[in-house]
Amino acid sequence: MERSSSVVYVLSDSVGETAEFVVRAAASQYDYARFEVRKISYVNDEATLREVVLKAQKDQGLIAYTLILPQLREALKEHAELTGVRIVDIMGPMMQALEDVFHMQPKLRPGLVHQLDEDYFLRVDAIEFAVAADDGKDPHALKRADVVLVGVSRTSKTPLSMYLAHKGLRVANVPLVPEVSPPDELFELPKGRVIGLTISPQDLNNIRQERVRVLGLDLEAMYASKERIEMELLYARRIMTDLLCPVIDVSRRAVEETANLILDYVSATIAKK
């Protein structure tokens, strides 16, 4: 009889986010709804390992793990062999490769990746800033931003802001709408601070048509009409010309690809100073 769900246990002697992320990323390539991920964090004794292995055996599942301490890894392997449970070492092979190639010894301290270092706080600050400065909510924040993104609706301004924030950049974004004048602060920013985002009319039409469909609106809504889109893009182009800012075409580009172009531009701008 076919199982209703496939259970994957995630074992870690720390939080377990790394293993969980890898498992979910892999599961997305299959029937994602059938996978149940059960995370067990801060494992530091063999009794817990044995209990999880027995549960995985009963569920006919598998175990993904990030265990740093060698004695825990060995204990898990022994219990898995006795019960026939499949286990996947997420971090071990990478650590072994680093050790073999670079002749370095690991610190063997769980949770180092989550240490609250300076970079962590910078990213948290950048994320909070991006949320507060999203969609032109705080014009006064523009002068404190590392990058300000401008463009019409549905040019990925918010996803890009959050992605770049995770890289430590303080990003604000301002929607360009013909009926609403951009804030004066936008035109007071130094050269190189603003980046324009544009998109092909057809791609924008497709995106907006899908948006109104999801919202249950009339497919002929002005928001998604070709005439409205052409007008908005022309207006945005004029504003970007006035700003003398670089413009990136996001048509059929993944957020990551556009973000890398922005990061390259920011790096080049900083290098010139």
pLDDT of residue 118: 65
Walk across the sheet containing 194-198 and list its strands.
Answer: 171-175, 147-151, 194-198, 247-249
The pTM of the full predicted model, rounded to 2 decimals, is 0.60
Q: Which fold has domain 6-114?
A: Rossmann fold (3.40.50)
How is residue 267 written in tokens? 């790096």
Identify the pLDDT of residue 112: 54
Give 69-82 pLDDT, tens digit per residue.
888 989 999 999 99
Which CA distances in Å does 76 have to 52, 65, 112, 182?
Answer: 10, 9, 22, 60
- The sign of the CA dihedral 207, 166, 258, 29 is negative
Could you say which DSSP state residue 136 is in?
A: G
What does CATH list as the number for 118-272?
3.40.50
Q: Where are the beta strands (DSSP E) in 128-272?
A: 147-151, 171-175, 194-198, 247-249
pLDDT digits (tens, 9 = 90+) for 105-148: 766 665 555 455 567 778 889 999 999 999 999 999 999 999 99
Mean pLDDT value of segment 147-174: 96
What is the C-alpha to C-alpha distance for residues 210 and 228, in angstroms, rounded to an integer?
16
Over residues 239-247, the mean pLDDT reads 97
Q: pLDDT: is 64 or 15 the higher one? A: 64
Nearest to 201 by CA among 232, 239, 176, 247: 232
Tell me what pLDDT residue 153 has: 94
Residues of the chain with CATH 3.40.50: 6-114, 118-272
Using a pLDDT cut of 90, give the percent of the chain over it.
63
Question: Does pLDDT of 2 surpass 50?
Answer: no
pLDDT in tens, 30-55: 876 678 999 998 888 999 999 999 99
Confidence (pLDDT) at 189: 96
Residue 4: phi and psi, rounded to 5, are: -75, -30
More confident residue, 271 or 243: 243
Q: Check: CB of residue 126 under 8 Å from CB of residue 171.
A: yes
Highest mean pLDDT of the ranges 2-11, 14-23, 109-118: 14-23
Identify the band that residue 172 occupies on the pLDDT scale cut at 50, 70 and 90: very high
Nearest C-alpha neighbor of 172 from the set 147, 197, 198: 147
- Does pLDDT of 94 surpass 60? yes
Tokens 């959050």 belong to 162
- What spatial distance separates the first Cα and last Cα of the chain, rounded to whole Å? 67
Please determine, for residue 245, whether its predicted confidence score (pLDDT) is greater than 80. yes
